[in-house]
Structure 1
């Protein structure tokens, strides 16, 4: 007789599905991308490479899977595998992503230890903090989608067609569905920054929002993720990319 699925197992399965969906989107994008684009350097300083972001995503999943492979495992995102060959070999990275999907499904399809220890380096001092499998899977979903947003930006620069929901957090899609009748952007998206943004005023008390601030607001609010470092290349890239998206929207009006 099949055992009933508990609420906790059902919730865990839903979080796994969210990760699987994001990884599946990434696999589909890699399938239509030439290997040269996967390894191509973008940006003013040639620091942005799709392969590096994909390898980084894989590393984080590998860290969680390693930590949960047996009793007493220690999650350590800092000392990751960092298989640099995955930055160059698109097919190998694609296969590794599919293996990650299978591992996530098999590892977390049933009951698992809720509590998990994580090694954290704070100002050079290591400490062990308590976390949980569910919490880390939630983090990994947001982390993956965040990097997919950057990957999508780079892929479009290389001429690869990217779906409108690629690299968009499910919470953002739900927000857009509920507030824009399924449209990707509100009409105010055509306004040049800085300008008044209702969400910026409502949630952060800001009368005018600059473009880099808008990126940070989207990271913290709709995407429920950590803000980017103000001097990071990721924030600079997204700030540079957004006006291009604005112009596409304006041209369609």
Structure 2
């Protein structure tokens, strides 16, 4: 039986994050800081012919991956996309979504992360082929963070082609950061 103070602690304080959720939070915080450092105009930059998607489209896409996990009820459907949504042109909306995801990740119960979930994703370029496979929320959150890092790198490259400087570490994968710390 829990004492009143133990019950209050469980009710009013977030659980201790797992290594995976903490890494995911760090990744989202990097994206948040990046968005705070650029202008609304820069958020809408693309760099054709090299990079045809705007910074905002990259953020919409990576946020869609988090949305799929966040809204999953046992099934994570990565095929649900919000192409053309205002998050592609509204830096403030992207910032608000990142903030919401960070809050959610801070309150995830660690035990829920290892429960099985089904995951749906398209796998073919020539025809609509959807694979369904088993995973865990923790594995999918780890994927979402690594996937976000890739899109941060694309956003950084887009802005660099417009001569906009960004944080040197933006878009580095955790393994790259570890490698650079060891040099």
TM class by shorter chain equals 0.7 to 0.9
What is the TM-score normalised by the length of structure 1?
A: 0.60
Q: 2:41 aligns with which of 23, 33, 36?
A: 36
Hey, what does 2:104 align to over in structure 1?
103
Cα distance between partner residues in 1 of 2:169 and 2:36: 17
Q: Is the 8 A contact 2:60 2:82 kept in 1?
A: no
Give the greater-gyration-radius structure (CA). Answer: 1
Cα distance between partner residues in 2 of 1:78 and 1:155: 28
Q: What is the SS of the residue equivalent to 1:161?
A: coil
Q: Is the 8 A contact 2:20 2:138 kept in 1?
A: yes
Cα distance between partner residues in 2 of 1:161 and 1:36: 15
Tell me by how many angstroms 1:45 deviates. 6.6
Q: 1:59 aligns with which of 46, 56, 64?
A: 64
Hey, what does 1:235 align to over in structure 2?
none
Cα distance between partner residues in 2 of 1:137 and 1:81: 19
Hey, what does 2:78 align to over in structure 1?
77
Give the paired residue count.
168
Q: Is the 8 A contact 1:62 1:81 kept in 2?
A: no
Cα distance between partner residues in 2 of 1:154 and 1:126: 31
Cα deviation digits, residues 217-242 of structure 1 (max 9, x gap)? xxxxxxxxxxxxxxxxxxxxxxxxxx
Cα deviation digits, residues 142-197 of structure 1 (max 9, x gap)? 1010111111122233343322211101111111222x2xxxxxxxxxxxxxxxxx
Cα distance between partner residues in 1 of 2:110 and 2:84: 29
Tell me by how many angstroms 1:98 deviates. 0.8
Q: Is the 8 A contact 2:120 2:132 kept in 1?
A: yes
Cα distance between partner residues in 2 of 1:131 and 1:175: 28
Hey, what does 1:248 align to over in structure 2?
none
* Structure 2 residue 31 is matched with structure 1 residue 26: yes
Cα distance between partner residues in 1 of 2:51 and 2:178: 35
